[in-house]
Chain A
């Protein structure tokens, strides 16, 4: 909140400048700085946070420009009233584009950049050839400038300032919100984010809509400032590229990064133009871009932040809530239970039912008409040789893939029809066999993410507290502020586990959490998994480590070539000849 107050205070202080009799020329220059701050910051809300680099910012900026130009010059709408319309038109354009583009799964990275660029040219061509423009451009010279400040220049200054302050405040608010966390997760690994419960489509749409609306607002104001609007100047590649450069220079992962970059670049370009070295300024602009990408990939703010020593690591244990009921629960769970298996589970209800479940990958039947039931409160071991379909089963239940055929019911809900994030929300959590943490989020944020978006759906503050509990539980508390890259394999496996647990799942899918661990580490993990089950979760457990399977499972299902070949009590099933053949080959049977 202090940051928010600081943003407003800075805005209020700057608003007094025109009253002090600032020379006109400074007001116009500062207006341009604000203009670029709005464009760069708004671009960053989608593109910087989520990594969907849009090259279509010119289209949304232009949509706002032409909305204001048309309404003000042809329909005599008062200028200030055209601004909400400009934002709305740009937002609708963005939402329409997003609704199509964000559904096409592979349109990411460079392809997204190109689609948005192409849309810019399409919109530009349409504007140019229809009565909106018609070719000669639109003049706004007859539109009166609203008298907000003492002069026209100061009015623009104040409008730009207000819009820039609002934009930065919005960028800051999103940065620290659930939406922001979701966007940063999408940036690192969109598929995993969706499976862990982030409504990726919704997050991208929301960010895009806000981003476009703000660009439209900037366009509306700028239309009157330049007072002559042409399609060629507006719908070009220079607006998006300038915005990208500013954001990258300042740092795309920081809410204030684009504002810093916009200020630097605008001042730089201005200095060169004023000194009649416009061409040299251009070359410097290019050189700065290259230098930043090569030597400062995090941008100004990203680099500054990386230099600052991480402070949170020592603080972590003390933040653990001492008296709250949440922590009591953790401590209760932490006591190793005497009962290792629960014979009573046979009588409990079925929580997950797969019937006739099939899935092929380019002709190979990974799962072929599989029927599996999981009962509430049990640990079901899923066994089979490599390629038998175990991980495919986990991927289908968690929604990573959709089944080709068959039914998949979880507590009466049809998982085959739900998008992956709704499955996570319904109470299903999973680990990945090869850990897939979000590389740019801290260990703590990785875990807090599932507390926010998984079954528990906690608000951000409580999610962080919850995350600290599970980091304690898995012994990662002192790594809370590290990045996943700093963890060893054992710790990364436990991070996967903590991330799944923080969702407070009703059904936990563990995909080979023990593989690659040393015998000592496996012992620790076995007692950990027991404690999880005693905490009330149902567990499906894919594992090759037989010692763990024997110690933990109530029941096992053996898969081979996508078909269930045995089912029942672990020690009995492992004696069956079909199972022995599947694992060891014919000669041994």
Chain B
């Protein structure tokens, strides 16, 4: 098996960056809710696909896919707030949150399947196959939009957590809830806000998925493993972690695919994940 040409390799690295950005965008909400709320939200993936199908539906009615964000983001924010209200009411442990949100995932999957059937759906829009050439490389527009959105959101949330009082209060509450509460942090309200933000992020990721990928209900599960790998490698509760780790994984996958065969790609991300978990579990938590 010969090595691919430099151009081909560069093009695959670029596509790795693009898909890595989507890993990072999906991982962002997951990482925040795990790190700051102690919830492992499997339903994040189902929400993202729900967002993708909504975007598909609205775009089918003639709305520009990017404008659907104006509906999806607030709607998903409200959904996230409602979910957190439920979680707080039942005082669910981290592990049980994984099981409960899996149950939720299955329900959402069933709902998607009954509304849009199990057939593949593809969003047709002005962005569909738009691409331009930069030097020798082709840049697909939908993927570029995803990358920019992911970078912007990661940076914005990073800055919010670091520089605003609200962000500091959130990190304090995550570190030691009772102590933070004693200093006047309204933890339940912050949790509602954060959960809303995470769900909204799932919605944004969903729109990005709809822009670049073919949709099917079962696809919900296809992303779980690799996105979890990005979340764990990036460090829980860190806003910039998922996108950095996501791009690292995406690029290594792309190179693996270019050098060997596409079906070997999962080996890279999961081996990386195992190594991270075993070698530096302290860093992850």
Given A286-B110, A289-B106, are A104 and B278 neighbors across the interface (CB < 8 Å)? yes
What secondary structure prevails in chain B residues at the interface with A? helix
**A34 interfacial contact with B, CB 8 Å:** no
A174-182, A241-249, A389-397, A562-570: which one contacts chain B? A241-249
Residues of B with C-beta under 8 A to A109: 94-95
**B132 interfacial contact with A, CB 8 Å:** no
The answer on a CB contact under 8 Å between A111 and B284 is yes
- For B103, give its contact among A104, A236, A293, A297 (CB under 8 Å): A293
- For B99, give its contact among A126, A236, A248 (CB under 8 Å): A248
For B278, give the chain A residue with the smallest CB separation.
A104
For B221, give the chain A residue with the smallest CB separation.
A237
The answer on a CB contact under 8 Å between B228 and A287 is no
The answer on a CB contact under 8 Å between A283 and B110 is yes
**B145 interfacial contact with A, CB 8 Å:** no
> Could you tell me the distance between the alpha carbons of A244 and B102 in the complex, rounded to whole angstroms?
11
Give chain B nearest CB distance to A32 CB in angstroms.
19
The 0/1 profile, CB within 8 Å of A marked 1, for residues 160-193 of chain B is 0000000000000000000000000000000000
Given A111-B285, A248-B99, are A125 and B111 neighbors across the interface (CB < 8 Å)? no
The answer on a CB contact under 8 Å between A106 and B225 is no
- For B228, give its contact among A114, A125, A135, A283 (CB under 8 Å): A114
**A285 interfacial contact with B, CB 8 Å:** yes
B58-66, B69-77, B258-266: which one contacts chain A? B258-266
For B236, give the chain A residue with the smallest CB separation.
A110
For A97, give the chain B residue with the smallest CB separation.
B274
Residues of A with C-beta under 8 A to B264: 125, 129
A116-124, A163-171, A399-407: which one contacts chain B? A116-124
- For B274, give its contact among A122, A124, A126 (CB under 8 Å): A122
**B4 interfacial contact with A, CB 8 Å:** no
What secondary structure prevails in chain A residues at the interface with B? helix
Residues of A with C-beta under 8 A to B270: 118-119, 121-122, 125
**A128 interfacial contact with B, CB 8 Å:** yes
Residues of B with C-beta under 8 A to A279: 110, 113-114
Give chain B nearest CB distance to A246 CB in angstroms.
12
The answer on a CB contact under 8 Å between A115 and B266 is no
> Could you tell me the distance between the alpha carbons of A96 and B103 in the complex, rounded to whole angstroms?
32
- For A286, give its contact among B90, B106, B232, B271 (CB under 8 Å): B106
**B126 interfacial contact with A, CB 8 Å:** no
Given A121-B266, A129-B263, are A107 and B110 neighbors across the interface (CB < 8 Å)? no
Give chain A nearest CB distance to B212 CB in angstroms.
22
The answer on a CB contact under 8 Å between A294 and B281 is no
Give chain B nearest CB distance to A439 CB in angstroms.
14
The 0/1 profile, CB within 8 Å of A marked 1, for residues 244-275 of chain B is 00000000000000000101111100110110
The answer on a CB contact under 8 Å between A111 and B281 is yes
The answer on a CB contact under 8 Å between A289 and B278 is no
The answer on a CB contact under 8 Å between B98 and A121 is no
> Could you tell me the distance between the alpha carbons of A280 and B225 in the complex, rounded to whole angstroms?
26
The answer on a CB contact under 8 Å between A241 and B225 is no
Give chain A nearest CB distance to B188 CB in angstroms.
19
Give chain A nearest CB distance to B46 CB in angstroms.
10
Give chain B nearest CB distance to A494 CB in angstroms.
29
- For A283, give its contact among B90, B94, B106 (CB under 8 Å): B106
Given A122-B270, A283-B110, are A289 and B100 neighbors across the interface (CB < 8 Å)? yes
Given A279-B110, A283-B111, are A115 and B99 neighbors across the interface (CB < 8 Å)? no
Give chain B nearest CB distance to A289 CB in angstroms.
4
For A104, give the chain B residue with the smallest CB separation.
B278
> Could you tell me the distance between the alpha carbons of A244 and B42 in the complex, rounded to whole angstroms?
15
The answer on a CB contact under 8 Å between B100 and A293 is yes
**A290 interfacial contact with B, CB 8 Å:** yes
- For B278, give its contact among A101, A125, A128 (CB under 8 Å): A101
**A74 interfacial contact with B, CB 8 Å:** no
**A581 interfacial contact with B, CB 8 Å:** no
The A224-261 residues at the B interface (CB cut-off 8 A) are 236-238, 241, 244-245, 248
Residues of B with C-beta under 8 A to A245: 99, 102-103
The answer on a CB contact under 8 Å between A100 and B95 is no
> Could you tell me the distance between the alpha carbons of A60 and B190 in the complex, rounded to whole angstroms?
42
- For B100, give its contact among A101, A110, A238, A290 (CB under 8 Å): A290
> Could you tell me the distance between the alpha carbons of A236 and B219 in the complex, rounded to whole angstroms?
12
- For A238, give its contact among B221, B266, B282 (CB under 8 Å): B221
The answer on a CB contact under 8 Å between B277 and A114 is yes
The answer on a CB contact under 8 Å between B90 and A294 is yes
Number of interface residues of A (CB under 8 A): 43
The 0/1 profile, CB within 8 Å of B marked 1, for residues 278-309 of chain A is 01101101111110011001000000000000
**B12 interfacial contact with A, CB 8 Å:** no
> Could you tell me the distance between the alpha carbons of A285 and B103 in the complex, rounded to whole angstroms?
7
- For A107, give its contact among B90, B100, B228, B277 (CB under 8 Å): B277
**B109 interfacial contact with A, CB 8 Å:** yes
The answer on a CB contact under 8 Å between A118 and B274 is yes
- For B273, give its contact among A100, A114, A128, A285 (CB under 8 Å): A114
**B151 interfacial contact with A, CB 8 Å:** no
Residues of B with C-beta under 8 A to A101: 278
Give chain B nearest CB distance to A353 CB in angstroms.
34
The answer on a CB contact under 8 Å between A236 and B100 is no
Residues of B with C-beta under 8 A to A119: 270, 274
> Could you tell me the distance between the alpha carbons of A151 and B246 in the complex, rounded to whole angstroms?
53
**A53 interfacial contact with B, CB 8 Å:** yes
The 0/1 profile, CB within 8 Å of B marked 1, for residues 206-230 of chain A is 0000000000000000000000000
Give chain B nearest CB distance to A57 CB in angstroms.
15
> Could you tell me the distance between the alpha carbons of A121 and B274 in the complex, rounded to whole angstroms?
11
Residues of B with C-beta under 8 A to A582: none
> Could you tell me the distance between the alpha carbons of A129 and B268 in the complex, rounded to whole angstroms?
13
Given A237-B224, A286-B104, are A126 and B278 neighbors across the interface (CB < 8 Å)? no
**B230 interfacial contact with A, CB 8 Å:** no
**A113 interfacial contact with B, CB 8 Å:** yes
Residues of A with C-beta under 8 A to B106: 282-283, 285-286, 289
The answer on a CB contact under 8 Å between B225 and A117 is yes
The answer on a CB contact under 8 Å between A100 and B263 is no
Residues of A with C-beta under 8 A to B273: 114-115, 118
> Could you tell me the distance between the alpha carbons of A248 and B99 in the complex, rounded to whole angstroms?
9
Which of A113, A119, A279, A285 lies at the interface centre, i.e. has the most chain B CB atoms within 10 A of its CB?
A279
The A288-344 residues at the B interface (CB cut-off 8 A) are 288-290, 293-294, 297
The answer on a CB contact under 8 Å between A293 and B274 is no
Give chain A nearest CB distance to B56 CB in angstroms.
19
- For B271, give its contact among A104, A122, A135, A282 (CB under 8 Å): A122
Residues of B with C-beta under 8 A to A286: 102-107, 110
Give chain B nearest CB distance to A397 CB in angstroms.
26
Residues of B with C-beta under 8 A to A283: 106-107, 110-111
**B92 interfacial contact with A, CB 8 Å:** yes
> Could you tell me the distance between the alpha carbons of A542 and B282 in the complex, rounded to whole angstroms?
32
**B214 interfacial contact with A, CB 8 Å:** no
> Could you tell me the distance between the alpha carbons of A101 and B284 in the complex, rounded to whole angstroms?
15
**B48 interfacial contact with A, CB 8 Å:** no
> Could you tell me the distance between the alpha carbons of A294 and B221 in the complex, rounded to whole angstroms?
24
> Could you tell me the distance between the alpha carbons of A170 and B265 in the complex, rounded to whole angstroms?
39
Q: List 12 A-B contacts (CB under 8 A).
A: A100-B278, A104-B281, A118-B277, A125-B265, A126-B267, A128-B263, A129-B263, A237-B225, A245-B103, A282-B109, A283-B111, A294-B92
B residues sitting closer than 8 Å to A (CB atoms) are: 40, 90, 92, 94-96, 98-100, 102-107, 109-111, 113-114, 221, 224-225, 228-229, 232, 261, 263-267, 270-271, 273-274, 277-278, 281-282, 284-285
In the A-B complex, the 3 residue pairs with the smallest Cβ-Cβ separation, listed nearest first, are: A286-B106, A289-B103, A106-B281
8 additional contacts (CB under 8 A) given A279-B110, A293-B96: A115-B274, A128-B263, A280-B110, A282-B107, A282-B113, A283-B111, A286-B107, A297-B96
